Protein backbone atom coordinates (compact mmCIF):
# COMPACT_ATOMS: atom_id res chain seq x y z
CA UNK A 1 0.00 0.00 0.00
CA UNK A 2 2.78 2.46 0.82
CA UNK A 3 4.56 1.63 -2.44
CA UNK A 4 1.50 2.69 -4.43
CA UNK A 5 1.19 5.91 -2.44
CA UNK A 6 4.90 6.62 -2.93
CA UNK A 7 4.54 6.09 -6.68
CA UNK A 8 1.55 8.45 -6.72
CA UNK A 9 3.50 11.15 -4.87
CA UNK A 10 6.57 10.80 -7.08
CA UNK A 11 4.65 11.18 -10.34
CA UNK A 12 4.68 14.95 -9.94
CA UNK A 13 0.94 15.55 -10.20
CA UNK A 14 0.67 16.14 -6.47
CA UNK A 15 3.42 18.75 -6.59
CA UNK A 16 1.65 20.51 -9.46
CA UNK A 17 -1.58 20.47 -7.48
CA UNK A 18 0.13 21.88 -4.39
CA UNK A 19 1.68 24.70 -6.42
CA UNK A 20 -1.70 25.47 -7.97
CA UNK A 21 -3.36 25.65 -4.54
CA UNK A 22 -0.68 28.01 -3.21
CA UNK A 23 -0.94 30.24 -6.29
CA UNK A 24 -4.73 30.29 -6.04
CA UNK A 25 -4.57 31.29 -2.40
CA UNK A 26 -2.11 34.09 -3.14
CA UNK A 27 -4.21 35.34 -6.06
CA UNK A 28 -7.32 35.37 -3.87
CA UNK A 29 -5.51 37.45 -1.25
CA UNK A 30 -4.31 39.92 -3.90
CA UNK A 31 -7.78 40.35 -5.41
CA UNK A 32 -9.36 40.76 -1.97
CA UNK A 33 -6.83 43.40 -0.95
CA UNK A 34 -7.19 45.24 -4.27
CA UNK A 35 -10.97 45.36 -4.08
CA UNK A 36 -11.16 46.33 -0.42
CA UNK A 37 -8.41 48.98 -0.56
CA UNK A 38 -8.89 50.49 -4.03
CA UNK A 39 -12.26 49.62 -5.56
CA UNK A 40 -14.46 50.03 -2.48
CA UNK A 41 -13.13 53.52 -1.55
CA UNK A 42 -13.63 54.67 -5.14
CA UNK A 43 -17.22 53.46 -5.15
CA UNK A 44 -17.83 55.00 -1.72
CA UNK A 45 -16.50 58.38 -2.86
CA UNK A 46 -18.85 58.38 -5.85
CA UNK A 47 -21.91 57.47 -3.82
Q: Could you tell me the CA-to-CA distances from 23 to 12, 28, 29, 32 in Å, in that order?
A: 17, 9, 10, 14
**pLDDT of 9 higher than 80:** no
Which one, of 1, 31, 16, lies nearest residue 39 by Cα? 31
| pLDDT of res. 15 | 82
Which one, of 37, 13, 35, 17, lies nearest residue 25 by Cα? 17
Residue 14 in contact with residue 8, Cβ under 8 Å? yes
User: Which position has the higher pLDDT, 7 or 45?
Assistant: 45
pLDDT in tens, 11-28: 877 888 889 999 999 999
pTM, entire model: 0.62
* Residue-range definition of the domain harbouring residue 33: 2-46
% of the chain beyond a pLDDT of 90: 55
| pLDDT of res. 23 | 96
Amino acid sequence: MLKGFRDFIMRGNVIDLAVAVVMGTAFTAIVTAFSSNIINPLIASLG
